Amino acid sequence: MILNKLLMSLIFTTISALAIAKFLPPPSTTTAKTATSKKPPAKTDKSSAKDVAIKPSEFDPKVKASQDFFDHINDNWMKANPIPSDKSVYSMFDILDEKSKLVVKRVLETAANQKVTPPKGSNMQILGDFYKSGMDTAAIDKAGVSPLQPWFTKIEKANTPAEYSSLLASLQMRDINSPLGYYVDVDAKKSSRYIFYISQGGLGLPDRDFYFRTDEKSKKNVEAYKEYVKNIFHLSNLDKTQTAEKQMQDVLEIETALAAASMTRVELRDPEKTYNLYTLEKLKSEYKNIDWQAFFDEMKVKPQEIVVGQPAFFHAFDSLLSVIPREKWINYQKFHMVNSNARFLSNDIVTERFNFYGKTLQGVQTMEPRWKRVSRISEQYLRDLIGQEYVKTNFSPTAKKRAMDLVDNIKASLAERIKQLTWMGPETKAKALDKLQKIDVKIGYPDKWWTYERTDVSKQPYVLNVMNSAYGENLRVLNRLDRQKIDRTEWGMGPQTVNAYYNPLINEIVFPAAILQPPFFYEKGDDAVNYGGIGMVIGHEITHGFDDQGSQYDAEGNLKNWWTDEDKKRYEVLTAQFVKEYNAFTPLDSQHVNGELTLGENIADLGGMIITYNAFKKANGNNTKLINGLTPEQRLFINYAIVWRENLRPEALRMQLLTDPHSPGKNRVNGVLSNLPEFHKAFHVQPSDSMFIKEVERARMW
């Protein structure tokens, strides 16, 4: 399916990669005793401990809660749970994802092992043939890159602007990386309609800055990438008339030029800068080396207005088309044809790709079992076929009801907080409350499922099944342009996905079924633990509607300023404190968290915790019941630390710091809690402790 770059930059997720926690432990023994010594002994309910999975014995007594809360709660778990060789990070998200993958595996194997051949186009036929083709390594190795040969020929013959523009559209509709990315989504400035977007792309390295960094690690990564590009040309038998060295140089020349014209990740966070409305006529007049009519004809769409994400990039791309010789573009497109499909080809190419993107960039030691890799691609392109089966045995209506109660309580908490704010005036408050009230909530799974009648899957090579499935998904996205109104029932994730998101274009929060399980959520468990887990996730997603990006969209999802000038200025002063605080975190050697890149997630973390804590206090009343010697407040903060429990390889941590809008788990936990007087009180944090921030220096918002 199309990587919807606007949607993915605006759908604010709760996680950075796959990362969360396991079962809970408490503060050190001395801290727990101190927490109860100033009041009459409260009744301890030990029988409930198994329900909430809080185990004080799992805490690290050598690390004080007041000095490093993340390590105090998670250090022993981290030591006892080394990263598996096929992962770059290991966390609760990974543990839950493994459980979800087993369900997906059962679904796919059932479809693949039907005793009677299912009808063409049926769910079982599509799932079964897709999975079988992906698991047939003998056929895949025998075919090599031969299934791509017709595409290599198309690339060679695309000599005119019309032919090349048509080729770009055809490649993009099969999810082949190219400079001209596109998607169709809700119009950010007229949220009652869909509109066509184009956006920058075409790079083989993870980020434009990778091409220009001068530190030794970055230079080694670029050299490793050059070797990878050469090896791909050789393994694909594409270096018969030219040397792989020359072909690699062509690819790097084009990619470096594209990278130089690309916006940075921080620049891409500004939705006003990436919303540039063009008519079709203006598009044609400004970028003359791209035949836009041929491009749109290939897609069978007729957009009259188009949003250009990065005009300067497309001016550069348009110029490069006339400056760089055609044979270099042929090498560039052939490389990306193979690179985009490398996971679906013969074992030598799969291994080569893994050695660079897995080992070198992420530090992963071994590949996942093949069934997991095929399952992941199946989920990407056949999401709802799998999701329908997943929810039959893995979702409880009772869980949905309790989760919805948490949502209502947390929304009410934010409403109270907004009304009490001293830095926001009445006019802005009224609009903020209106936006909050209109947030749509989706929990569990969609009311209606996608259908796959245009997905051509058969007993053909795996790579062709993948490309055809991508084509079917892109047709689904393009057909949005034909709708008279937007479809608010669509989901951006499947129910089997361990994640959640906020979408400002719809003003909605979405919680798939797979995240409604421990340690996030206990259907019959302790409220304190649930508020610290899924409650915090809910609060986080709601707060995204009011972070530095989400706050630029109104209650209907339009990119429109609804703040008074004075309130906006006060808001920006508050956000500057977040940037300053998180810039000071140094998780790896001298490498800092990027406070500007992670600003939205950091605001959502702290705001989410504040409103969740207040919602819990209101719901909990005066209940002071101890469980395993822990107060309700302690249990809430502990589970928050547990859900962000993670082990990361140095390479993966470096990649996260360079490219991810989320701070590392340790900084998310300690960064948030250090700002909260409620946390200081619960764990008796003193001004001399590392977990204490002076009031004047604290980040705050809601």
What are the tens digits of pLDDT across the range 66-102? 999 999 999 999 999 999 999 999 999 999 999 999 9
Q: Is the pLDDT of residue 13 over 60?
A: no
Alpha-carbon torsion, ordered 323, 326, 332, 337, to 10 deg: 140
Backbone angles phi, psi at 134, to 5 degrees: -75, -25
The answer to whether 634 touches 683, Cβ cutoff 8 Å, is yes
Residue 401 CB contacts under 8 Å (≥ 6 apart), including other chains: none
- pLDDT tens digits for 201-248? 999 999 999 999 999 999 999 999 999 999 999 999 999 999 999 999
Radius of gyration of the CA atoms of the chain, in A: 26
CB burial class (10 A; 0-12, 13-18, 19+) of residue 198?
buried
Across 323-433, the runs of DSSP E, i.e. the strands, are none
Q: Residue 622: its pLDDT value, please?
A: 86
Mean pLDDT for 481-499 is 95
- List the one residue out of 417, 438, 420, 456 whose CA is nearest residue 614: 417
Backbone angles phi, psi at 181, to 5 degrees: -85, 155
The answer to whether 530 touches 406, Cβ cutoff 8 Å, is yes
Report the percent of the chain where pLDDT is more than 90: 89
Domain boundaries, the chain: 5-98+388-697, 148-344
- pLDDT tens digits for 16-57? 333 322 222 222 222 222 222 333 334 444 434 345 467 888
Question: How would DSSP label each residue in 231-273?
Answer: HHHHHTT--SSS-HHHHHHHHHHHHHHHHHHSPPTTGGG-TTT
The answer to whether 349 touches 338, Cβ cutoff 8 Å, is yes
Looking only at the bridges linking them, the beta strands covering 508-512 and 440-444 are parallel
Q: Residue 18: its pLDDT value, please?
A: 34
Tokens of 599: 């600003």
Mean pLDDT for 174-190 is 97
- pLDDT tens digits for 384-429? 999 999 999 888 889 899 999 999 999 999 999 999 999 999 999 9
Model-level pTM? 0.92
Q: Is the pLDDT of residue 9 over 70?
A: no
- List the one residue out of 472, 459, 418, 391 whose CA is nearest residue 610: 418
Report the percent of the chain where pLDDT is more than 70: 92
Domain at 148-344: CATH code: 1.10.1380.10
Tokens of 570: 């006060």
What is the C-alpha to C-alpha distance for residues 542 and 519, in angstroms, rounded to an integer?
20
Tokens of 241: 């008339």
Q: Residue 48: its pLDDT value, please?
A: 42
- pLDDT tens digits for 680-697? 999 999 999 999 999 999
DSSP 105: H
What is the C-alpha to C-alpha distance for residues 273 and 258, in angstroms, rounded to an integer?
18
What is the C-alpha to C-alpha distance for residues 371 and 376, in angstroms, rounded to an integer?
9
- What angle do helix axes 397-420 and 599-620 make, rounded to 10 degrees? 100
Backbone angles phi, psi at 166, to 5 degrees: -65, -40
The answer to whether 42 touches 115, Cβ cutoff 8 Å, is no
State the average pLDDT for the chain. 92
- List the one residue out of 570, 572, 551, 608 whose CA is nearest residue 431: 551
- List the one residue out of 278, 275, 286 whose CA is nearest residue 303: 278
Domain 5-98+388-697 has CATH 3.40.50.11030: no
Q: Is the pLDDT of residue 366 over 70?
A: yes
With the C-alpha atoms ordered 507, 513, 514, 519, is the resulting torsion angle positive or negative? Answer: positive
Q: Residue 15: its pLDDT value, please?
A: 41
Q: Residue 23: its pLDDT value, please?
A: 23
Is there a common fold for 5-98+388-697 and 148-344? no
The answer to whether 472 touches 540, Cβ cutoff 8 Å, is no
Q: Residue 53: its pLDDT value, please?
A: 60
Residue 116 CB contacts under 8 Å (≥ 6 apart), including other chains: none
- List the one residue out of 651, 377, 400 whose CA is nearest residue 517: 400
Q: Residue 37: its pLDDT value, please?
A: 30
With the C-alpha atoms ordered 127, 130, 133, 134, is the resulting torsion angle positive or negative? Answer: negative
CA 29 to chain centre: 37
CA 379 to chain centre: 15
